[in-house]
Every structure is written in structure tokens, then in C-alpha cells.
């Protein structure tokens, strides 16, 4: 099997959605996008420009207007890519465009309506239908994963705890390229199972409402399908080819003035625009061809798409547009990005016999279990036919699992009956001693137990074998209900029509280019006046091209100014929110607590974000314990800082700043001593001196009973 090492450009198609209800309610402003389906051209009209300004024309591999069907886009532009993935190539399909232009509809569509099913469900049907129609000597293993990039953090949408789990990390391998570590992968055996995986992930995906889209995607979603195929080669050995399909649904670029997002939605929009800007820089660097450095590491999105843009993959980019004049600037930006992406060259090759093929591990495990089952079958036959000297020949295992189970059950029943007969014979034998009978009966019981254990082990082995083999899909078997011959012929005819349409469009585009180049060579002039007229016409044409290029330069500068103003506005919003949080920190968080938090912050260079250090180092968590606070001098137990301050300030410290007098009513102790003074007045009461003292503030003083001396 030869590997294709030739380069291939990224295939770019453009699709324009119909006007929305909100756009129709604003009035008949007219569409600014016109499409020539035959030539694959998009003509964009500037609503603010004078009528004399020429319109902008872009040429792509295919274009689809508002009346196009989902099936047409899939058959013409996506089906050849899926066929390449089934042949062992890497493939990527991603939708790019402004928010609310139909990217999610193009990729997913309406699952229940066959006419409105998007690229992803049609790809599911294509893959499993191809497997069901393939030859019986091929084995397939299909795996699916689902992830999203939310706020520049990779989250596994198939993880039940993805909301609280920490983000996954990107790794790079020389064999497989960039991959996500610890990403959940589900083995799928039918269309229903892979659709269920997709639905589980969609329920966990981050979406939100904006002024432009009620169900706006707030994250970039990537659905990854791995198809492994095992097929005998010319050398008689089984060779494995692995095709990887990346189905990418990007979040749309947003302008804060149009979407009206604030708070958390504003942060999401800033991260989305940052990653899309990094994607645009990568496309520009690859399309330029003169830049030695491609900034893949500026964003996690571009790192995941590294093979898809300029690497080992076949890529289809679907650029989505809106027809309203309100979004002229965003539509022009999308068309320019798509036009640059046409110049990117990939180097796709077949992934043959990779080291990380899971199908080979499954085949080795199935072969081991099959050998154990065959060995048990051989033992059962040997025990049933001890006299027969014929050798056991290895049979084909297809459909023999039931036979093995029946033979095993029959063998166990016969052995149980034989042991029961032997036990009865031992009990009826009068010449054996009682101890000898007990010993022989115990041996028979042990043999019965061993027989049952062997039967259980065989059942477990058979169940494990069937579970492993059920994960593999074999060509020629009924994965889904096979279509009849008329449906097969209809699909083949539809594919031929799509291929013919694509070839005609490419031929017409080449003819237009050749006509422009050879027009001057074919012209012959009979007079100077005719030559002057032809040269004047050509000069006007070149002058119009010059004016168009000047207009392009002006538009690029205006777009740069608008993007700068938009970024400045976003920066001002984020700065205002940051100042508000700083104000809260300065006024409500004690300085010592703030210093503790700041001391725990560290910057992670790989993930480009700040992180908290643990209070106790990870390596010493198990070996070290936090020290117990030292006891205060003179006290048996540790006391808190608050208690120490209270002791130093004295009793009732909370009332000191409020200038409150706290009076305690003390009862005078009874006078039990005899009154030695005859002139003492027994009814005299103790006097209270309530005069304040300078040292202790407001205090009550108690005087002792006075005595009168002669």
C-alpha cells in the first residue's frame, strides 16, 4: 500500500443562510451577497459605497446559496473527505463565520428531519453504511470522543463530572501529533450508539443567548471519530489503517456592540475572539508562505488544528455568511479569511500500521481467548472420546461459540451422571470399609466441585470473548438494515452527479483564467484605430483593477481600525470590571489575607495562566502534618489571637469604644462581728463613692462600714 505524499490545498466552500425573522422585520434592506453556483463565485456589494464602485468578487471551490440543501453540500464537498478517512487519511471539517450565520446548523442540522440533517449525522450514516457493505475479510473498530474549548480550557463533554473536573492538557507525540491527554473514548458499534454519544455531549456543551442568536455557542466543539480497519495484504499479513475525522463547530466571532454581552458573556466573547484571531494569524502565516514561524501555540484551538492546517490531513472549510447589510464588515472579513485559506497546502498520507492502533490489541486479546476456548473444547472431546485416536483439527470460529457452549453443557451433564453412578456404586459396595467409602465419596465430591468450577470458568471466558468480539465490526454483516439494490444504485448515481458538477465547476474556473491570459495573444488588429480601441479597453480594465485594489487596501485599513476600536472597548470593559474587583479587595479583605493569597500565586508558562499553590506541598502531604499552635505562657491550652487581645484589653472590651458604663450590683457582705463601739449607729448603711478615677475610667468604689471612736 503506497502512501500519498503529494501536497493538497485546503478545500474552501461558502454557504449563505436565508434572512432571519429579525432581519425581515427590520424592513426590505436588500441582500448584499450574490452567488454564482456555476462558477463558484461570491459577489459582495458594499451598501455604503457609491454605485460606481465595483463589487468585490471571490472564487471558491463551491458556493451554496440560501436555497441549497444539506444533502447537496454533503454529497459535493464532504463525501470525498469521508471516503478518504475510511481509506486511512486524517480529515477535518470545520465551520467558520460570524455568530448567528448557521455554523451549528450546517454541522448538525435537524436530526429528526432527513432533509435537514447536517454534516455530522450524514457522516455517521456514511461511515457505518460503508462498513456494512465492505468485504467480509475486513474488520473495523470505531471510536468517538467529544470535547469543547471553553475560556481557553479543554473540557471532556463525555465526562459526567466535566463541570467540576479540571481542564485537560495537550500533549504532542512524534507518531500521532498533538493529542488530548486522558480524553474519554467510546467504542461505537452502530449509528444509534454514536448518536447517543453526540447527544450526551451536546447536553453538556456551553451555550448562551445574545442579541444576535438565542442559542449562541459559547465554546469551540470538536467531535473526533477514529476508524481503524484491518485487512489482509499481499504478503498475507493483516495490515491496519487508521483514519481520524475531526468535526469542528467553532464559536462565532462577535462584536460587543452588536451582541450586547456583559459580565460573564463578555469574558466568553473575549476568549472566543482571541482564539479566532490566533486561527486567522495561522491561516495568514500559512497562506503567505514566506513566514518561517507559524503561531500554532498562541491558542489551544490552533494547536488542536495543527495537523489540519498545513499538516497531515485533508481539510474542508465551510465559511458561513449572513445576507443582511448590517453585517457587511463581518461578511467581508469572513470572505477574506476563506480566500486566504485556499492557499494553505497540506501533506496528507495514509496512517498505515500505527503504533497506537487499538484494533491490534483487540485482535490479540480475541485470539488469546479463542485459543483458550479451543483448548477447552479439545479437552472436552478428548474426555468424551478417549478411545478415538483421531487428532483434533482447528475449525473456523465463526458461529462455533454456541456449539462450544452446547458441548460443554452436555459434557458437564454426562460427567455429573457418571459421578452420581459411581457414588451410588460406592455406597452399595458392602466389602468396602466405612472410612474407605467416605474417602472415595469425598474424592467424587471434589471432582464434582472441580467440574462446576471449570464450567463457570468456561462460561466467563465465553462471555468475555463475545464482549470483545462484539466491539469489532466485520464487513458484510448487518450493522444496519441494508438498503436494497435500487437505493445503492441511487446513491451511486447521486455521487456521480456531484462529482460531475464539481468537475464542471473546476473546468469553468480554469477556462476563465486561461481566457484572461490568452486574450491578448489571440487579438489581431487590422488598423491602428482598432488597436487603440483595444488598448484603451484594456487600460480601462486595468484601471478598474487598480481602483479595486486601492479599495481593498482602504477596506483593510478600515477593518484594522474597527478591530482596534473593538478591542479597546473590550479592554475598557474588562479594565472597569477589574478596578471594581480591586476596590472590593482593598476595602473588604484584610491586607494580611491578601498577602497570603498573593504569595500562593504562581504563573504556569505551559498553560499561560496563574495558579494557586497548595497550602501543603504535594510531595510532603503524606509525610508532614501541620504543627500544633504553641501554648500561651501560663495557660494549659492554646488560645486564639482574639482571646489574647481580649485579655490584654481587659473585660468588656467591646463596649470601650462606645462609651458605655457597665455597672454591677454587688451585695454588701453581712456584718457578723460584734459592734465594739457604743456610739455606732446600727442603721447606718455603707456609703458608695462613685467618683471617677483617672486610671481606670468610670468605676464604682465600695467603702467599708465606718466606726466612731471616742
Confirm whether residue 103 is marked as ligand binding: yes
C-alpha cell of 418?
457418571
**Is 104 labelled as part of a ligand binding site?**
yes
The response to whether 101 counts as a known ligand-binding position is yes
Q: Which residue has the cell 480601441?
A: 533
Radius of gyration of the chain (CA): 42
How far apart are alpha carbons 16 and 481 in whole angstroms? 35
Q: Are strands 314-321 and 11-16 parallel, antiparallel or unpaired?
A: parallel
Residue 101 DSSP SS3: coil
Q: How does DSSP assign 238-278, residue by residue? A: EEEEEEEEEEEEPPPB--HHHH---THHHHHHHHHHHHHHH
- Helical packing angle, 528-588 and 264-288, nearest 10°: 140
User: Taking CA 277 as the corner, what is the angle to CA 55 and CA 318, rounded to the nearest 5 degrees?
Assistant: 60
DSSP label of 74:
I
Answer yes or no: is 97 a known binding residue.
yes
129 within 8 A of 353, measured Cβ to Cβ? no
Q: CB–CB of 249/95 below 8 Å?
A: yes
Give the CA count within 13 Å in the CB-facing half-sphere of 167: 13
Q: How far apart are CA 273 and CA 268, in angstroms?
A: 9
Q: DSSP secondary structure string, 613-628?
A: PPSS-GGGTTT--PPP
C-alpha cell at 475: 464487513
Which cell numbers in the block locate residue 303? 494547536
Alpha carbon separation from 414 to 410, 448, 451, 563 (Å, rounded) = 6, 12, 11, 85
449 marked as part of a ligand binding site: no
> How far, in Å, are 667, 683, 691, 701 from residue 687 at the CA level?
13, 12, 12, 9
Task: With beta carbons less than 8 A apart as the criterion, state whether 96 and 337 touch.
Answer: yes
Look up residue 111 and give its DSSP letter: T
Cα angle for residues 413, 418, 420 (degrees, 5° grid):
95
Binding-site positions for ATP read: 97-104
Binding-site positions read: 97-104
Amino acid at each position: 500500500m503506497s502512501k500519498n505524499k503529494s501536497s493538497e490545498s485546503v478545500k474552501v466552500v461558502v454557504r449563505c443562510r436565508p434572512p432571519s425573522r429579525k432581519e425581515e422585520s427590520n424592513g426590505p434592506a436588500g441582500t448584499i451577497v450574490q452567488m454564482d453556483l456555476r462558477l463558484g463565485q461570491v459577489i459582495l456589494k458594499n451598501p455604503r459605497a457609491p454605485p460606481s464602485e465595483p463589487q468585490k468578487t471571490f472564487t471558491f471551490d463551491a458556493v451554496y446559496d440560501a436555497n441549497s440543501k444539506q444533502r447537496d453540500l454533503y454529497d459535493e464537498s464532504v463525501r470525498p473527505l469521508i471516503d478518504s478517512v475510511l481509506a486511512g487519511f486524517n480529515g477535518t471539517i470545520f465551520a467558520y463565520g460570524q455568530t448567528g450565520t448557521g455554523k451549528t446548523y450546517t454541522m448538525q442540522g435537524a436530526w429528526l428531519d432527513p432533509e435537514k440533517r447536517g454534516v455530522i449525522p450524514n457522516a455517521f450514516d456514511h461511515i457505518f453504511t460503508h462498513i456494512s457493505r465492505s468485504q467480509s475479510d475486513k474488520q473495523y473498530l470505531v471510536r468517538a470522543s467529544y470535547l469543547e474549548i471553553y475560556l481557553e480550557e479543554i473540557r471532556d463533554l463525555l465526562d459526567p463530572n466535566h463541570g467540576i473536573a479540571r481542564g485537560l492538557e495537550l500533549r504532542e507525540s512524534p507518531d500521532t501529533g498533538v493529542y488530548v491527554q486522558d480524553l474519554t473514548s467510546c467504542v461505537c458499534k452502530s449509528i444509534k450508539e454514536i448518536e447517543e454519544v453526540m447527544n450526551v455531549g451536546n447536553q453538556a456543551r456551553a451555550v448562551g443567548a445574545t442579541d444576535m442568536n438565542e442559542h449562541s455557542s459559547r465554546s469551540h466543539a470538536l467531535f473526533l471519530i477514529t476508524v481503524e480497519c484491518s485487512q489482509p495484504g499481499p504478503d498475507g499479513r493483516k495490515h491496519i489503517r487508521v483514519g481520524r475525522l475531526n468535526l469542528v463547530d467553532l464559536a462565532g466571532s462577535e462584536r460587543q456592540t452588536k451582541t450586547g454581552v456583559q459580565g460573564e458573556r463578555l469574558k466568553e466573547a473575549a476568549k472566543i475572539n482571541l482564539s479566532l484571531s490566533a486561527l486567522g494569524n495561522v491561516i495568514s502565516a500559512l497562506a503567505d508562505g514566506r513566514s518561517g514561524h507559524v503561531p500554532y501555540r498562541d491558542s489551544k484551538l490552533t494547536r488542536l488544528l495543527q495537523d489540519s492546517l498545513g499538516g497531515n490531513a485533508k481539510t474542508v472549510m465551510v465559511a458561513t455568511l449572513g445576507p443582511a447589510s448590517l453585517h457587511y464588515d463581518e461578511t467581508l472579513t469572513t470572505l477574506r479569511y476563506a480566500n486566504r485559506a485556499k492557499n494553505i497546502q497540506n501533506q496528507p498520507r495514509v496512517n498505515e500500521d500505527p503504533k497506537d492502533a487499538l484494533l491490534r490489541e483487540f485482535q490479540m486479546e480475541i485470539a488469546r481467548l479463542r485459543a483458550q476456548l479451543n483448548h477447552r473444547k479439545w479437552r472436552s472431546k478428548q474426555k468424551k472420546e478417549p478411545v478415538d485416536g483421531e487428532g483434533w483439527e482447528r475449525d473456523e470460529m465463526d458461529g462455533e461459540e454456541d456449539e462450544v457452549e452446547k458441548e460443554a453443557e452436555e459434557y458437564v451433564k454426562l460427567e455429573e451422571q457418571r459421578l452420581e453412578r459411581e457414588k451410588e456404586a460406592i455406597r452399595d459396595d458392602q466389602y468396602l470399609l466405612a472410612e474407605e467409602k467416605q474417602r472415595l465419596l469425598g474424592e467424587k465430591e471434589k471432582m464434582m466441585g472441580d467440574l462446576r468450577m471449570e464450567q463457570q470458568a468456561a462460561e466467563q471466558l465465553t462471555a468475555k470473548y463475545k464482549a470483545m468480539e462484539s466491539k469489532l465490526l466485520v464487513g458484510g454483516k448487518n450493522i444496519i438494515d441494508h438498503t436494497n439494490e435500487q437505493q445503492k444504485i441511487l446513491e451511486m448515481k447521486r455521487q456521480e452527479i456531484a462529482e460531475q458538477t464539481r468537475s464542471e465547476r473546476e473546468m469553468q474556473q480554469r477556462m476563465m483564467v486561461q481566457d484572461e491570459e490568452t486574450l491578448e495573444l489571440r487579438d489581431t488588429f487590422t488598423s491602428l484605430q482598432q488597436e487603440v480601441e483595444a488598448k484603451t479597453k484594456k487600460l480601462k480594465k486595468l484601471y478598474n483593477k487598480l481602483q479595486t485594489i486601492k479599495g481593498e487596501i482602504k477596506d483593510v485599513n478600515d477593518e484594522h481600525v474597527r478591530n482596534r476600536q473593538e478591542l479597546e472597548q473590550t479592554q475598557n470593559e474588562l479594565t472597569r470590571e477589574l478596578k471594581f474587583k480591586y476596590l472590593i479587595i482593598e476595602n473588604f479583605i484584610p491586607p494580611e489575607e491578601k498577602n497570603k493569597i498573593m504569595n500562593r500565586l504562581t504563573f504556569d508558562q505551559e498553560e499561560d495562566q496563574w495558579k494557586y499553590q497548595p497550602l501543603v506541598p504535594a510531595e510532603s502531604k503524606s509525610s508532614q502534618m501541620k504543627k500544633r499552635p504553641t501554648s500561651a505562657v501560663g495557660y494549659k491550652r492554646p488560645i486564639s489571637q482574639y482571646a489574647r487581645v481580649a485579655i490584654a484589653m481587659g473585660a468588656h472590651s467591646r463596649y470601650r469604644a462606645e462609651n458605655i458604663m457597665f455597672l454591677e450590683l454587688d451585695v454588701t457582705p453581712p456584718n457578723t462581728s460584734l459592734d465594739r463601739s457604743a456610739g455606732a449607729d446600727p442603721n447606718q448603711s455603707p456609703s458608695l463613692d462613685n467618683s471617677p478615677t483617672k486610671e481606670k475610667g468610670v468605676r464604682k468604689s465600695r467603702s467599708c462600714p465606718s466606726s466612731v471612736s471616742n
